[in-house]
Amino acid sequence: MKPTIKIFFFVFSTIIFFSCKTKNKPARADAGTERKWWKEATVYQIYPRSFQDSDGDGVGDLKGIISRLDYIKSLGIDAVWLNPVYESPNKDNGYDISDYQNIMKQFGNMDDFDKLLKGFHDRGIKVMMDMVLNHCSDQHKWFQEAKKSRNSEYYNYFHWWPAEKGEPPYRWSIFDEKAYGWEFNKATNSYYLHYFADFQPDLNWENPQLRQDIYKMMRYWCDKGVDGFRMDALAFISKDTTWPPLPKEYNGNWGLYYASGPYLHDYIQEMNREVLSKYNLATVAEAMGDIPRVKMFVDEDRKELNMAYNFEAIDFGYLPGEYKMPDPNGYDFVKWKSIYAKWDSAFVEKGWGTMYLANHDQPRMLTRWGNDTPEFRDYSSKLLTTFILSMRATPFYYFGDEIGMNNIKFEKVEQYNDVELLTNYEQVKAKGGDLKRFLEGMKISSRDNGRTPMQWDTTTNAGFGNGKSWLPVNGNYKTINVAAQEKDENSCLNYFRKMIRLRKDNDVLVYGKYTLLDKTNPDVFAYTRELNGKKLLVLLNFRGKITSVNTGIDVGNGEILINNYSTPSAGGTLKPYEAIIYQL
Ligand code: GLC
């Protein structure tokens, strides 16, 4: 570095250092944790395709969301995460982006987006965009050019294996029927890499030009005023381009190997310097792996991201070696609780976690983690809401769960739309597997269950839109819908609002120390939250039967802050799916 540049750099960083110190006085909420808006926020996830269709084409759109802004505001949430709205051929519903700086035609145009952003901001709601940075669509200009010739200026925006070197070293692909991550391209006589479907070529982050283009694009959205990013498949962006054989420990665990590329964190730190640090953003990564790995994304000292998803709890209870096949014997509840406790302790000193039970890659939480029978749907929906909003982590709450929507449970493969399911179906079929069993499992776990249209009212298509919707509306919309629940003060919807208010009014629910109690209880999730002398006790009976709980705490003098029955249980028992929060 030249001396003048060095001096400039020193003066500049000193100014920045001191201005940050004075601006962000470390207001410690508890040992270890600094207050931040995104720690205190409840994020509501909107899958735009399925939220509200304004033009009758059967697909939700931005104008549709605009027409529901007041509803969203009424929930009391602080931020929304929008699944991808960029131009896309939609083979993976927007996760195959063909133009990062334009809006998908089915969803509207940039003018609609600007209005939507303003509409949210006018209501004090922040907006997080989905950023898909590991791959783009094969229809993106970069790939269209790259695939023409090895001399194309975009050739090195992707990973290629020249065919003259023979077959490429094996790489797995998640959305490929042959589970093979390389696809041959005739014009260049080479194979391109795709960890996801063959229409989702992986971007070559080793190329600094690509990285600069990405940062520029991200700054475009930040300059528009978006408030954060949910980073799709971010853990996979760095690859070892010597393409060594997959290590032995890989053994099908793609999160472990693919999520640990040699320059992963260098790239994220560079992104932080070039983009994230310049704005007041909330960032959350899909970050696979164990605690030490995931902590690297969110440890403040490393200057990378704010939050990460933990997949361990959400993927729990599936049979090993099979695609999302629920264990017919249920899941080990005691172990599941310990996973949450483990991930809570991971972020006590550094970093911050997320709490979610559903999203667009998951089935409906009511079916998977609660009980969607008429007898228990209400209670268990409220119980899950209590759980999500009482943990020490930022809650990400999926649209429709506030009214207790449940899985649609398709009978036939033809009813599904999802590339992931269809790929896996073909794989089971090719191996001569049991397709009936596969489809039974998918009634519980497939992603399309979480993507059916929002149930607004009892009119045609549940008020989602006039045209035939891209996925059918769940047949129970006449009883399960927003309009009906607005009128009922005891509805799931109003319980959700109440629970959000409770979290807002009680810092202890955000920052308070978390302690798991009655750890070996096979039915009840019990924990305390403590902050500055205030102590809350959360009791959640995850079973459809009366159970006993033994926390060792006398709740006799406790005040009930919220509960999902008209008369709460007293003492050591809980009613089916009962949820209670006491202030002790
Ligand atoms: C992420 C998205 C998922 C998508 C995949 C490929 O896991 O959440 O919906 O299919 O990445 O982009």
Collect all residues with Cβ–Cβ distance below 8 Å to 320 and sequence separation of at least 6: none
Atom of ligand 1 at shortest distance to CA of 360? 9
One pLDDT digit (tens) per residue for the chain, 584 residues: 444 444 444 444 444 443 433 333 334 455 457 899 999 999 999 999 999 999 999 999 999 999 999 999 999 999 999 999 999 999 999 999 999 999 999 999 999 999 999 999 999 999 999 999 999 999 999 999 999 999 999 999 999 999 999 999 999 998 999 889 999 999 999 999 999 999 999 999 999 999 999 999 999 999 999 999 999 999 999 999 999 988 877 766 777 788 889 999 999 999 999 999 999 999 999 988 889 999 999 999 999 999 998 899 999 999 988 889 999 999 999 999 999 999 999 999 999 999 999 999 999 999 999 999 999 999 999 999 999 999 999 999 999 999 999 999 999 999 999 999 999 999 999 999 999 999 999 999 999 999 999 999 999 999 999 999 999 999 999 999 999 999 999 999 999 999 999 999 999 999 999 999 999 999 999 999 999 999 999 999 999 999 999 999 999 899 999 999 999 998 789 999 999 999 99
Q: Residues near ligand 1 with C-beta < 6 Å? A: 92, 95, 132, 196, 232-233, 286, 360-361
Instruction: Report, as residue numbers or ranges, the catalytic residues.
Output: 232, 286
Strand segments (E) across 286-388: 307-308, 354-355
Torsion of CA 272, 302, 84, 500, to 10 degrees: -120
* 61 vs 53: CA distance, rounded Å: 5
Domain ranges, ordered by start, for the chain: 141-193, 509-583
Q: How far is the CA of 92 from the centre of ligand 1 (A)?
A: 8
Q: How far is the CA of 360 from the centre of ligand 1 (A)?
A: 9
The two domains 141-193 and 509-583 share their CATH topology (first three levels equal): no
Arch. (CATH architecture) of 509-583: Sandwich (2.60)
Mutate to test the pocket of ligand 1, among 92, 135, 419 (most ligand atoms within 8 A of CB): 92
Neighbours of 277 (CB within 10 A): 13
Nearest Cα neighbor of 105 from 71, 59, 166 is: 59
Q: How far is the CA of 423 from the centre of ligand 1 (A)?
A: 14
Query: Which residue, judged by its Cα, is nearest atom 2 of ligand 1?
Result: 232
Mutate to test the pocket of ligand 1, among 134, 232, 314, 362 (most ligand atoms within 8 A of CB): 232
Q: How far is the CA of 249 from the centre of ligand 1 (A)?
A: 24
CB 451, CB 49: distance < 8 Å:
yes
Collect all residues with Cβ–Cβ distance below 8 Å to 502 and sequence separation of at least 6: 389, 509, 561, 562, 581
Map tokens 């600069």 to a residue: 212
Query: Which residue, judged by its Cα, is nearest atom 4 of ligand 1?
Result: 95
- The DSSP call for residue 353 is B
* 424 vs 177: CA distance, rounded Å: 7
CB 204, CB 151: distance < 8 Å:
no
Atom of ligand 1 at shortest distance to CA of 132? 12
Q: How far is the CA of 434 from the centre of ligand 1 (A)?
A: 26
**Residue 580 in tokens:** 């209670």
- Report the CATH fold assignment for 141-193: Oligo-1,6-glucosidase; domain 2 (3.90.400)
pTM over 0.75: yes
Mutate to test the pocket of ligand 1, among 135, 361, 362 (most ligand atoms within 8 A of CB): 361
Mapping DSSP to helix (H, G, I), strand (E, B) and coil, where does residue 306 land? coil
Nearest Cα neighbor of 418 from 400, 445, 397, 440 is: 445
Nearest Cα neighbor of 310 from 294, 331, 334 is: 294
Collect all residues with Cβ–Cβ distance below 8 Å to 25 and sequence separation of at least 6: none
- 24-75: pLDDT as tens digits: 333 445 545 789 999 999 999 999 999 999 999 999 999 999 999 999 999 9
Query: Which residue, judged by its Cα, is nearest atom 12 of ligand 1?
Result: 95
* 584 vs 582: CA distance, rounded Å: 6
